[in-house]
Structure 1
């Protein structure tokens, strides 16, 4: 019996040793296969990051210090060369401008968990710019990048917030000096022949898709499913002030807005009234110009009603004012033309829609300022976008199609009372007399 027990123990020990040797061999083979697969995957990623075309001089490397983080999703980011103008059409900016934007917004975006877990910062910014420029749906972007819709919305919302926070103080300061106001007035006089004009103002509804959680009565309300964009621009189609999110009936929009309150309370640091030229002794205030939807104020001029324009002098005044006021309509047309997200109803809630509008306004100003400085090889605002006069023929700009308000932008019929004060009426009449004098008629 002792011999049989020793024999069984020896056999069991032998079997245990054999199994240990087998498992060690299997583990070695598994490690070798895993190492080979890892090396193959690394080589594959390296090949994707390199341009196989030797004729391409430079490529854009989106894997910056912010984007070079491990992520659970491998995005198929299209490669574009610096000389390729289609890259500008892809996200509305050059490669150098994109790199600058990544460096500006990267630190703030990197703090968000949606970038750390699912996607790099630079890729997230590229995704957002493509979404804004092409006007793709969230579902389309989700399918393209293999990321769920909720994460895509969070990425876009975070990127838009970072763009606004990092650019707004540089491209749209909240307070302007008197010298800046005077420079804006001089540009309006030189380019649009309207003296003492400090900006053109307009307002539009930005329509959103009703939420499925809302009641049918609220879904039918246009005001409930839209935000108001009240905007002022200068003579160069650059936004100087924007106000968003004002609800209520159309007639109360301007009075309830922060812009309207600031002008009404004389908090805008405007220059004091002064003569329009050296030969005049009458002082004229610096004014905004708006269309018939706006109230007549001492600081805001609107056209004479069409029914009262029997006199030629009033027609001349309206023509001069409307020509200057068209700058804001053109500015909004360029915004909706360059950023196709506004070509249709925005399928997001109020908070995310406001962030999208803020980001697009900042990007518009940032790229427009780059146009004026001449630092970019490609232009954000091309000549065919705006109205031109070729010889004796007037050619309408392509942005007029975008300004027809067929997408997210809808016109507002009235933003304030049509009744002006006696002083406001006197100021408009003074401008009328000045524009119909012999000197200004010759200039116009």
Structure 2
């Protein structure tokens, strides 16, 4: 009996060794048409599109000059060496494939036919390039203010362009559709009826994002998402180096420096939101209009991003950390393109435009067509006296020395 067991054990060991040594036969190294990437890739089409600048822009969402500058920035991080087995996919091919993915939202399987790059390779190339885009651009094009002077510059821009003095940023969240990981139930299911992760962002007066946080599950409210960010923690801890209250134009009174958002957020002395919609006095309607007018900037930012990068209109089917990379790369690209080719990337029709004579707003690109009414309602909050007084200071200013001559026509 013992001899039989030894024989069976020896036989099993031999079979395991043979299995390990047996090499899987490969039918082909790669599909033949993929090996002819130099012939079939869309980079050949780009050579033709140089003669048609408008088509080049539509294809990559930027002009050729801007693209070349972007390629120079990311090349050190995405360039790979050739091997004796095959030539590396060039930075040019990697970047154009990634930009087409962001611009169209097409799947890897679909994209491979125009890029002549396998879906498996695209699954590595696109997240790596998105990371390179964010790393290469964030310090210059998504720089978060650190000094009082930098904050004051933002406040001055809001006053000049939106007649909202001492405003430091417009804040809101956008739900990004996702295909959730298996076994997560309703963890990512949001109040709108689909699975999502939330992009929380702060925008300046020039439609640029100065801060973004990506990755909180969609079940959490916008106010809850904001309170989980490093930005908010530093705000409540007094670590943002915000300027002290200052006198504003045409007034002898001081107003605090504040961020603004919709009703989903918590009212604070340094964070204003509208008055509840029920039983509004004329003065409160004026305040809500003036706040909404400046707050619409972040709505336009999200709308522009989604229109230019159609990946944000799809249910993104990637690992969660890679979804984060895709979305924040769209955010930093938005800022880059706003500065480099704003006329073509964001023409005037992209923005909300007010018709003061007819008391209406012509809607530009935005994620929510509601203008003044219909703001998202959050849970009832206990308003601290200091927070209420901060909002009331702006209410009095907008209805007196800070009044603009068209505001009465814009409330209903």
Q: Same fold (TM over 0.5)?
A: yes
Out of 121, 124, 130, which is 2:94 matched to?
124
TM-score by length of 2: 0.79
1:202-240 Cα distance to aligned partner (Å, 9 max, x none): 0122121124xx127257744995322110111110111
Residues 72, 176 of structure 1: alpha-carbon distance in 2 compared, 3 angstrom cutoff: farther
Listed as ranges, the matches of 1:302-341 within 5 Å are: 302-309=273-280, 311-341=281-311
Listed as ranges, the matches of 1:12-411 within 5 Å are: 73-74=37-38, 75-77=41-43, 78=45, 79=47, 80-81=49-50, 83-111=52-80, 119-211=89-181, 214-215=182-183, 217-218=185-186, 221-222=189-190, 225-247=195-217, 249-250=220-221, 251-277=223-249, 279-280=251-252, 282-309=253-280, 311-371=281-341, 379-389=344-354, 392=357, 396-400=362-366, 402-403=367-368
Which ranges of structure 2 fall in alignment gaps of 5 or more residues?
Answer: 1-34, 408-412
Residues 272, 439 of structure 1: alpha-carbon distance in 2 compared, 3 angstrom cutoff: closer
| CA–CA distance in structure 1, aligned partners of residues 284 and 361 of structure 2 | 26
Count of residues paired in the alignment? 357
Larger radius of gyration: 1
Instruction: For residue 290 of structure 2, give the secondary structure of its aligned residue in structure 1.
Output: helix
Offset, 1:303: 0.2
Contact 1:73 1:118 in 2 (8 A): no
Instruction: For residue 347 of structure 1, give the secondary structure of its aligned residue in structure 2.
Output: coil
Residues 417, 159 of structure 1: alpha-carbon distance in 2 compared, 3 angstrom cutoff: farther
Instruction: For residue 243 of structure 1, give the secondary structure of its aligned residue in structure 2.
Output: strand
Runs of 4+ in 1 over 4 A off after TM superposition: 111-114, 222-225, 389-395, 402-405, 411-414, 441-444
Residues 83, 141 of structure 1: alpha-carbon distance in 2 compared, 3 angstrom cutoff: closer
1:99-126 Cα distance to aligned partner (Å, 9 max, x none): 1111110010015999x86521111101
| CA–CA distance in structure 2, aligned partners of residues 432 and 88 of structure 1 | 44
Partner of 1:437: 400
Instruction: For residue 246 of structure 1, give the secondary structure of its aligned residue in structure 2.
Output: strand
Residues 141, 321 of structure 1: alpha-carbon distance in 2 compared, 3 angstrom cutoff: same
Residues 439, 285 of structure 1: alpha-carbon distance in 2 compared, 3 angstrom cutoff: closer
TM-score by length of 1: 0.74
Offset, 1:72: 7.1
In the alignment, does 2:383 pair up with 1:420? yes
Which ranges of structure 1 fall in alignment gaps of 5 or more residues?
Answer: 1-70, 373-377, 406-410
1:356-390 Cα distance to aligned partner (Å, 9 max, x none): 11111111001101246xxxxx6210122112357
1:132-189 Cα distance to aligned partner (Å, 9 max, x none): 1122222210233343322112111011000000000000113432222112111111
